[in-house]
Amino acid sequence: MKKTIILGSVLTSFALVAGACSDSSDGEESSEDLFVTIAAGGTSGVYYPIAGAMANVYGDAGHDVSVQATGASVENVNLLQSDQAELAIVMADTVEQAYEGFGAFEGEDPQDNLVAIAGLYPNVVQVITTTDSGIESFEDLEGKRVAVGDANSGVELNARMIFEAHDMTYDDISADYLPYGEAIDQMRNGMLDAAFVTSGVPNSAAMDLASTHDVTVVPIDDDAMNYLNDTYPFFIEDEVPAGTYDNEEDISTPSITNLLVPNPSLSDDEVYELTSLFYENLETIQSSHEAATDIEIEHFQEGVNIPLHPGAERYFQEQGLLDE
């Protein structure tokens, strides 16, 4: 297993400066600075540039901000709960597992204090291989060397479910627990046959591979998709559009919504402030990556499977998007 690389200082405690705020009923934002650490993902993924754009927005508003590279969803939930992050981008399936205490959080107490700010954009499950591998269907992965993501990462949790949907397990492959940036490098060097890349579309690492190799995106067929819909309803039918990696046709595959999740201990005024700044500067955030262009305020409830934080609720009520 590869150890997660943390860029920058790993902070073990954080002070939130919460001071005099106007009455929440008048809708004014907190005037005090926050110290905000944003738990993102690997530097080759989509979370990281989006978190960077968020950091610029919050920094310009006078807040002290840090972006932390992580192993993504599972680690991000743990960072929130251990007060090592104020905000995190997390896939909806990971949130549900933490909230209810199953899957990657089996045997742990349900983390039913988790709350959301909003649904952001879909993370598309992309099983990437090269044309030279001869892999054309999911079943063709049998006996192959496949990167399934960091152990217990959101990517890896997805991979387990996708194998389950095809009545397969890791016993049917030679599994390698690598983040997709490293996995793509290994594929380029001929040491891997395929990799799970669950991210926004396009993924920069997969784009890089497509610049030197003919890339194939393995489709997920209807039977597997129906199983996922019935068993894990957080999966949404989606596609990798034609031309993304020089593919001639749309490729059928599932996706999962990414959520913006705050530290549950943040006050209503603090979350209101962070939510307001996020959406008032949405163009800046959308410009960080093509996947972020799917973030729209009108879709803030899509894929959200935990309660909204009251501070976020107040903001959306003021925008006329939620009943008071």
Domain with residue 269: its CATH number is: 3.40.190.10
Q: Specify whether the CB–CB gap between 147 and 196 falls below 8 A.
A: yes
31 conformational bin, left if phi > 0, alpha if psi -120 to 50, beta if neither: alpha
Q: For the chain, give the percent of residues with pLDDT over 70.
A: 90
For residue 300, tell me if it sits in a domain: yes
- Asked if residue 235 and residue 207 are part of one domain, the reply reads yes
pLDDT of the residue at 159:
94
- For residue 80, give the nearest of 306, 278, 269, 261 by alpha carbon: 261
How many CB atoms lie under 10 A from the CB of residue 217? 25
Q: Residue 24 pLDDT more than 50?
A: no
Are 142 and 244 found together in one domain? yes
Are 210 and 301 members of one domain? no
pLDDT of 42: 84
Pairwise CA distance, residues 84 & 68, whole Å: 10
Count up the domains in the chain and report the number: 2
Q: What is the pLDDT of residues 85-110, one digit of tens each?
A: 999 999 999 999 999 998 889 999 99
Q: Looking at the structure, do residues 29 and 134 belong to the same domain, yes or no?
A: no
Return phi, psi of residue 216, to 5°: -120, 135
Q: What is the DSSP string of 84-110?
A: S-SEEEEEHHHHHHHHHT-GGGTTSPP
The verdict on 241 and 129 lying in the same domain is yes
Residue 207 domain flag: yes
Q: How many residues does the chain have?
A: 324
**Mean pLDDT in residue range 184-213:** 92
Chain mean pLDDT for the chain: 88
Say yes or no: 241 and 312 in one domain.
no
* 10 belongs to a structural domain: no
Q: pTM here? A: 0.75
5, part of any domain: no
Write out the two tokens for 237: 């039918």
Taking a C-beta distance cutoff of 8 angstroms, is the pair 172, 141 a contact? Answer: yes
Same domain, 165 and 91: no
CA 78, CA 84: separation in Å to the nearest integer?
8
**SS3 at position 119:** strand
Exposure string for 243-254, b = 16+ CB within 10 A, e = fewer: ebbebeeebbbb
For 141, the 3-state DSSP assignment is helix
- 53: in domain: yes
Give the other-Cβ count within 10 Å of 196's Cβ. 26
The 10s digit of each residue's pLDDT in 240-288 is: 999 999 999 999 999 999 999 999 999 999 999 999 999 999 999 999 9
Q: Is the pLDDT of residue 21 over 80?
A: no
Domain boundary among 256, 275, 300: 256
pLDDT score of 118 more than 50:
yes
For residue 32, the model assigns a pLDDT of 67
Angstrom distance (rounded) from CA 244 to CA 300: 26
**Could you tell me the pLDDT band of residue 22, with boundaries at 50, 70 and 90?**
very low
pLDDT tens string 141-192: 999 999 999 887 878 888 999 999 999 999 999 999 998 889 999 999 999 9
Task: Give the pLDDT confidence score for residue 36 in this predicted structure.
Answer: 97
Domain co-membership, 106 together with 144: no
The H or E element spanning position 184 is helix 180-188
Residue 272 and residue 239 share a domain: no
| 212-231: average pLDDT | 95
Where is pLDDT greater, at 157 or 309? 309
Res 201 pLDDT > 70: yes
| The two structure tokens encoding residue 184 | 């793509």
Residues 43 and 96 in one domain: yes
Within a domain: residue 19?
Answer: no
* Residue numbers of the domain that contains 107: 24-120+259-318
Same domain? For 193 and 267 the reply is no
Q: Which one of 256, 275, 303 terminates a domain?
A: 256
Under a CB-based contact definition with an 8 Å cutoff, are residues 144 and 174 in contact?
yes
Q: What backbone phi and psi angles, to 5 degrees, belong to 217?
A: -100, 120
Are both 233 and 147 inside the same structural domain? yes
Domain boundary among 256, 271, 297: 256
Please check whether residue 86 is in contact with residue 38, taking contact to mean a CB–CB distance below 8 angstroms.
yes
Given a cut of 60, whether residue 290 has pLDDT beyond it is yes
> Cα(91)–Cα(94) distance, rounded to whole angstroms?
6
For residue 133, being part of any structural domain is answered with yes
Kindly state the tokens that stand for 171. 């016993």
Assess if residue 9 is contained within a domain. no
- pLDDT value of residue 20: 34
Contacts of 299 (CB under 8 A, 6+ apart): 119
